[in-house]
Amino acid sequence: MIRLMKQSHLFTKTRREAPKDEVSKNAQLLIRAGFIHKEMAGIYSFLPLGLRTMNKIVGIIREEMNAIGGQELSLTALQDKHIWEKSGRWSDEVLDVWFKTTLKNGTELGLGTTHEEQLTNLMKDYIRSYRDLPAYAYQFQTKFRNETRAKSGIMRCREFLMKDLYSFSKNEAEHSAFYEKAKQAYVNVYKRVGIGDLTYITFSSGGTFSKYSHEFQTLTEAGEDMIYVHEGKKIAVNKEVLNDEVLKDLGISRADLIEKKAVEVGNIFNLGTKFSDALELVFKDVDGTNKPVIMGSYGIGPGRVMGTIAEICSDDKGLIWPESVAPFAVHLIALSNKKAVEGVEDQVKKVADEIYAKFVKRGVEILYDDRDATAGEKFSDSDLIGIPIRYVVSEKTIANGEVEMKDRKTGKVEMVNISDFK
Ligand code: ATP
Ligand code: MG
């Protein structure tokens, strides 16, 4: 990752207003701060600052997936219709978010909305016996979904990145052990990106193969889901499974649940043998018989996570990135109002350049506002972009041999000795 950047070189600019048709707070802030560019409703490009944050989120998820034995691959977005016909999901009535396209010779293809079918089919080439199991494969890959409503900014896109992991196991016990590990890895992810306190493991319907699946729901008014939160146990139940049986299973009473708006930032599913049956993915067990592979799927939308962070970690001035996902760790601002005069060195610039060079040498990710702009512009841009720590070098601060340090989140200001920068 590139560690250094001078703001005078950054081609993106902040803007006062988001496009008129943009109704979501996350997209408004991210567009104004120059993180994303709106192409169409539900379709956004990621600009240099936005991509840095996205890559931080992706990096955290990747570490957690590798830690539980995930192996990264990358499947294609163009998908074979015949594979989808086998699972019965090619029909637009069954899967209502399809984008489909056609080859010049008339062959129909699907633009991947998800990858269970394709990966199950691919695994038939590699999974033969119990010795080949378990296997855990994941990817960060673009999904296409013709979402009807796209009013939640980057939290609901028609083209978006998804981390999707699929587990292939010999039996229920092996599957369940991994499912629990994945659940913990998800808890780690949300904690590390800074939304752990507001994210609830939420019981939802498990389909045919297990009683429950689990959604990871983050409380925010911007969410499209309604969940029922048990604050004491730090769990929640979603609308579709809120009934007496579930309450009994979880040992909770309806009176203790509070209805809250939330966004689903991830989910984990037991797929059982649904896809292995449909696509005939079997393995030869120790006893010599053929058995269907037991599968699970585990999704996270890194862009939706980024949008959720923007919703939660922001104020009326702009974004407030948690350190772990901030595009840069430090924002250095030089407030030099001296026009270059021949023979006279600009002391503010000199001190700021030196501090910048020291951070770069230490490998700190730093954005250096070296632009010829007013203090007001620089401060409001800095507040909007939301880098956690800001250093300000001005004539006033250097007169005392100091620079000002401000914490974006707490607003706390401290003076730091110039000689302290090593
Ligand atoms: P939702 O109910 O919100 O549409 P989903 O059940 O369709 O979500 P999955 O298909 O399981 O979601 O996708 C896995 C993850 O991908 C979700 O938990 C979410 O984080 C993310 N995701 C799903 N749809 C979108 C989208 N349209 N834009 C951005 N991220 C998405
Ligand atoms: Mg959906």
Model confidence pLDDT, tens digit, residues 313-347: 999 999 999 999 999 999 999 998 665 565 566 89
Does residue 1 lie within any of the structural domains? no
Q: For position 173, what pLDDT does the model report? A: 96
Give, for ligand 1, the residue of 143, 147, 152, 225 to mutate: max count of ligand atoms closer than 8 Å to Cβ.
143
Q: For position 41, what pLDDT does the model report? A: 95
* Same domain, residue pair 57 and 179: yes
* Same domain, residue pair 143 and 65: yes
- Distance from C-alpha of 9 to C-alpha of 222, rounded to nearest angstrom: 34
* Distance of CA 248 from the midpoint of ligand 1 (Å): 29
* Same domain, residue pair 400 and 254: no
Residue 261 has pLDDT above 90, yes or no: yes
* pLDDT, tens only, 12-44: 999 999 999 999 999 999 999 999 999 999 999
* Same domain, residue pair 107 and 214: yes
* pLDDT, tens only, 72-112: 999 999 999 999 999 999 999 999 999 999 999 999 999 99
* Same domain, residue pair 217 and 302: yes
Nearest-CA residue for ligand 1 atom 26 is 156
* pLDDT, tens only, 304-317: 999 999 999 999 99
* Same domain, residue pair 145 and 257: yes
* Same domain, residue pair 208 and 301: yes
Count of the separate structural domains present in the chain: 2
* Same domain, residue pair 220 and 114: yes
pLDDT bracket for residue 1 (50, 70, 90): very low
* Same domain, residue pair 20 and 55: yes
Residue 2 has pLDDT above 60, yes or no: no
Residue 381 has pLDDT above 50, yes or no: yes
- Which ligand approaches the C-alpha of residue 158 most closely? 1
* Distance of CA 137 from the midpoint of ligand 2 (Å): 22
* Same domain, residue pair 292 and 366: no
- Distance from C-alpha of 321 to C-alpha of 21, rounded to nearest angstrom: 25
Give, for ligand 1, the residue of 267, 270, 271 to mutate: max count of ligand atoms closer than 8 Å to Cβ.
267
Higher local confidence (pLDDT), 344 or 120: 120
Does residue 44 lie within any of the structural domains? yes
Q: Is the CB of 303 under 6 A from ligand 1?
A: yes
283, 317, 351 — which closes off a domain? Answer: 317
- How far is residue 376 from each of residues 18, 41, 382, 405, 411, measured CA to CA in Å? 20, 33, 10, 17, 16
* pLDDT, tens only, 134-166: 999 999 999 999 999 999 999 999 999 999 999
Does residue 49 lie within any of the structural domains? yes
Does residue 186 lie within any of the structural domains? yes
* Distance of CA 98 from the midpoint of ligand 1 (Å): 14
Q: In terms of C-beta density within 10 A (0-12 exposed, 13-18 middle, 19 or more buried), how is residue 69 classed?
A: middle
What single letter denotes the amino acid at residue 91? Answer: S
Give, for ligand 1, the residue of 54, 149, 162, 240 to mutate: max count of ligand atoms closer than 8 Å to Cβ.
162
* Same domain, residue pair 265 and 371: no
Residue 69 has pLDDT above 60, yes or no: yes
Does residue 201 lie within any of the structural domains? yes
* pLDDT, tens only, 216-259: 999 999 999 999 999 999 999 999 999 999 999 999 999 999 99
* Same domain, residue pair 26 and 77: yes
CA atoms within 13 A on the CB side of 31: 22
287, 317, 347 — which closes off a domain? Answer: 317
- Distance from C-alpha of 41 to C-alpha of 179, rounded to nearest angstrom: 35
- For the CA of 264, the closest atom of ligand 1 is 18
pTM, 2 dp: 0.97
Does residue 4 lie within any of the structural domains? no
Across all residues in the chain, what is the average pLDDT? 95
CATH number at residue 355: 3.40.50.800
Q: Residue 193 is part of which domain span?
A: 14-317
Does residue 9 lie within any of the structural domains? no
* pLDDT, tens only, 198-217: 999 999 998 777 889 999 99
